[in-house]
Amino acid sequence: MVPLHESLQAQASDGLVSWPVQEAAAKEYSVTLAEVEEAILSSELLPARYQRNRQMISTSQQLQLFRSKVAVVGAGGLGGYILEQLARLGIGQLVSIDADVFEENNLNRQLLSSPAKLGRVKVEVAAERIAEVNPAVTLRPIQAMCGKSNGVELLTGVDCVVDAVDNVTARLELAEICSELQVPLVHGAIAGWYGHVATVMPGDTTLQTIYRHWKGGKGVEQQLGNPSFTPAVAASFEVAEVCKLLLDQGRLLRNRKLAFNLLHMEVDEIPL
């Protein structure tokens, strides 16, 4: 049998390997789809699904993304969109952490929710969705609340953590854990028409500044709730930051916060 690399090379067209070829190779060589993806990318070929990434993400960068591990804490409004986008971007390993099951009040905005999923564990639904969307991506579902007691254990070994939780206590704990682990944290929070995003590098005290006047309890999201579009906006900003962090590109939202107001369509940059 020809080596896998050679077989992929022979079946590539214009540097692209199609999905049927990737699937057939996994069967023929008795390896996982992820292993075939690694073989494709390390042969300087591109799985055809990423051809529209090509002008902004080179094949070697696509391999870098595939070899990255990103944890998304929270699989609700923000988390659903973030997981979807990270998987489609081609991040090889995802960790999804959330303790909850889907409830009816999630249906107006949470991408992973649907009437058929009511009562189901969010991270399990996330694993199923990601397996369907990009089967070369591995998602490890963890049904738990991520906090001081288990955070270090759950997040050790990841390249980047994405904050998609729904309360300030959890966010501040996450910032402490990431600081201890020396891992970058991409933060996003929403309420009604409004939201903000910031990137926290190890040693930064960004979240402590943002929530400097917090006295416990919820923010204005308690009165406003969240519509369908606001989580998608914040999630997209967060994923763009993750992509830049992993590829060391562009200018990060570091030491500044982007606050957006979709009601008046305003974006403010706040120094931190």
Binding residues (CB under 8 A) for another protein: these are: 74, 76-79, 163-168, 171, 188-196, 209-221, 223-224, 226, 231, 257, 259, 261, 264, 268, 270-272
CB 25, min distance to another protein, A: 39
CB 254, min distance to another protein, A: 16
Task: Give the DSSP H/E element, type plus range, for residue 180.
Answer: helix 168-181
Which of 18/167 has CB closer to another protein?
A: 167
CB 258, min distance to another protein, A: 12
Which of 29/214 has CB closer to another protein?
A: 214
Beta strands in 90-193 (DSSP E): 93-97, 138-142, 160-163, 185-191
Q: With H, G, I as helix, E, B as strand and everything else as coil, classify residue 32.
A: coil
CB distance 102 to 57 below 8 Å: no
59: amino acid identity, one letter: T
Which of 182/223 has CB closer to another protein?
A: 223
CB atoms within 10 A of CB 115: 8
Which of 213/251 has CB closer to another protein?
A: 213
CB 111, min distance to another protein, A: 13
In degrees, rounded to 5, the angle at the alpha carbon of residue 72 between the alpha carbons of residues 139 and 129 is 40
Backbone angles phi, psi at 128, to 5 degrees: -65, -45
Which of 107/247 has CB closer to another protein?
A: 107
CB 186, min distance to another protein, A: 12
Which of 31/272 has CB closer to another protein?
A: 272
CB 228, min distance to another protein, A: 14
Residues near 15 by beta carbon (within 8 Å), at least 6 away in sequence: 44, 45, 46, 59
CB 60, min distance to another protein, A: 34
Q: Are strands 194-200 and 256-261 parallel, antiparallel or unpaired?
A: antiparallel
Beta strands in 98-208 (DSSP E): 138-142, 160-163, 185-191, 194-200
CB distance 134 to 86 below 8 Å: no
Which of 67/256 has CB closer to another protein?
A: 256
Beta strands in 11-92 (DSSP E): 16-17, 46-47, 69-73
Of 194, 195, 155, 187, the closest CA to residue 171 belongs to: 187
